[in-house]
Amino acid sequence: MSRRRRHSDESDGQTRKRRRTSEPSEIEERLESLICRVGEKSTSSLESNLEGLAGVLEADLPNYKSKILRILCAVARLLPEKLTIYTTLVGLLNARNYNFGGEFVEAMIRQLKECLKVNMYNEAEYLVRFLSDLVNCHVIAAPSMVAMFENFVSVTQEEDIPQVRCDWYVFAFLSSLPWVGKELYEKKDAEIDRLLSHTESYLKRRQKIHVPMLQVWIADKPHPQEEYLDCLWAQIQKLKKDHWQERHILRPYLAFDSILCEALQHNLPPFTPPPHTEDSVYPVPRVIFRMFDYTDDPEVSYKNVFQPSSHLAFVANKRFHEVFKVLAESDEGKLHVLRVVYEVWKNHPQMIAVLVDKMIRTQIVDCAAVANWIFSSELAHDFTRFYVWEILHSTIRKMNKHVLKIHKELDETKARLARQHKRRESDEHDDNNDQSSDREDGPLEEQIERLQERVESAQSEQKNLFLVIFQRFIMLLTEHLVRCETGGIDVFTPWYKSCIERLQQIFLQHHQIIQQYMVTLENLLFTAELDHHILAVFQQFCALQA
């Protein structure tokens, strides 16, 4: 055989080999695309598209069953808005291949348990609803679904468990009933009535200390506010009364924006920005001069600066970085820098937010300084404005992100050291190799020690930030309460309501981090001697974790 012919045959063989090895991944990608895109805009009807897709999947089941199961379980969790489309598809596949339905339900139950294990409660709720609708598609039998709901509701009978655990299982049961209630009530009415009776009993005895923290408005007029479980229970009772004649609950659409605009059209002038002045157009040179109290120098003139002020702000921040660092060496210096930024840019809140963000990232000021500045008397005029609280929450997020970043570095370095040890254990070494291995471990062990110190320092900073924030909240609110009591003034002023709700927001928005410091907060700040108006917020937050 000639060299050219042999080379050609080898090339053809390699091409065929590549085609054979790449074909499965191409088919899997095609299956994923077909499943994920079903229900999107198409010239054919949804019914015909689902029938066609079911036929394609049925043909590929012998070779790609596990892949198809994984994709369908994923879309059930991640695309809840297409729930009925996918339950119908599973029903069609089950009708064509009876074993598939059982395997799919088993895979869904495994995924549900995994979601609950890793605290993915929203996804778990979507999976329960999906399973519920499979009853309508004749994939799951009604008695099996009732048994699952009985297990959910039985959680309320367990002792010494957090109330939030009971709440979630009851909520998962009630929120799934609109999808399957009619079917279950027709076949298992006695069992459903018993479950609803147990649920009602639980709702009557559960603690509601936390409810004020979750309320959207203060007054109970024109009707009382209800918590999500109470509201859902009322809806279920209504559906029960109507015998679940409809699978879907329609929500009326309210053109809120047009109504709001109409209501506020006569009040818009207060929201218009202030007119531009010489000071507001050229503020950046002023901030530098004012830092050094050079504003009286006749040689200084910022009127000749023609660059855009926002650009100048960043140029100045970069060029005078070392100057700022010297000025902000002390805590008072950091506050001074922030005060001047506010004084210069007070008509441009967006620029204040951007500059404070940049000063934190360039380590001119720290997070605790920003918190102290926000609660300072100089910012009292803007205390209730949105941008102030956006700055505070952004500052907290930066601190949290910093802690997580160092934690991740530490975990990765520990993992590298563990992998190094594992490789060494799998090999045979003599004494000399052992000594060289110890030398290899040294740098990693030193790096781990340094990172552990950084983690402790960062966590200490994070803890201090929350202590500063809550301490300043307590000081402001206490001053207000004393002032009102002394002057015989109603405590519940608009300012008080705004402040107390911002305190609630801090607790709720950063609850995962704050939970780590609950003992310190209770022992140092939220003590029994604190005014009950303020202490109630902390107690409501504690009740949410109970």
With a pLDDT cut of 90, the percent of the chain lying above it is 58
Q: Are 109 and 69 in contact (CB under 8 A)?
A: no
- pLDDT for res 242: 61
Residue 212 CA to residue 541 CA, distance in Å, equals 10
- pLDDT for res 442: 77
101 versus 24: the higher-pLDDT residue is 101
Give Cα 307 to chain centroid, integer Å. 40
- pLDDT for res 101: 93
Mean pLDDT of the chain: 82
Q: Are 417 and 445 in contact (CB under 8 A)?
A: yes
- pLDDT(249) > 60: no
- pLDDT(520) > 90: yes
- pLDDT(378) > 50: yes
Tokens 């790096």 -> residue: 447
Lowest mean pLDDT among 1-15, 40-54, 84-98: 1-15
Q: Are 327 and 365 in contact (CB under 8 A)?
A: no
Residue 50 CA to residue 78 CA, distance in Å, equals 19
Band the pLDDT of 267: cuts 50, 70, 90.
low
Averaged pLDDT, 90-109: 94
Q: Enter the pTM of the model.
A: 0.68
Lowest mean pLDDT among 23-27, 329-333, 506-510: 23-27
Q: Which residues contact 41 (CB under 8 A, 6 or more apart)?
A: none
pLDDT, tens only, 283-333: 545 555 454 443 344 333 333 333 334 444 554 556 666 777 777 788 898
- pLDDT(459) > 50: yes
- pLDDT for res 235: 73
295 versus 38: the higher-pLDDT residue is 38
Residue 407 CA to residue 274 CA, distance in Å, equals 45
With a pLDDT cut of 70, the percent of the chain lying above it is 77
Band the pLDDT of 133: cuts 50, 70, 90.
very high
Q: How many residues does the chain have?
A: 546
pLDDT, tens only, 226-243: 778 887 787 777 666 664
- Residue 466 burial (C-beta neighbours within 10 Å; 0-12, 13-18, 19+): buried
- pLDDT(441) > 70: no
- pLDDT for res 25: 80
- pLDDT for res 428: 55
Lowest mean pLDDT among 258-267, 346-355, 424-433: 258-267
- pLDDT(244) > 60: no
Tokens 């504690």 -> residue: 542
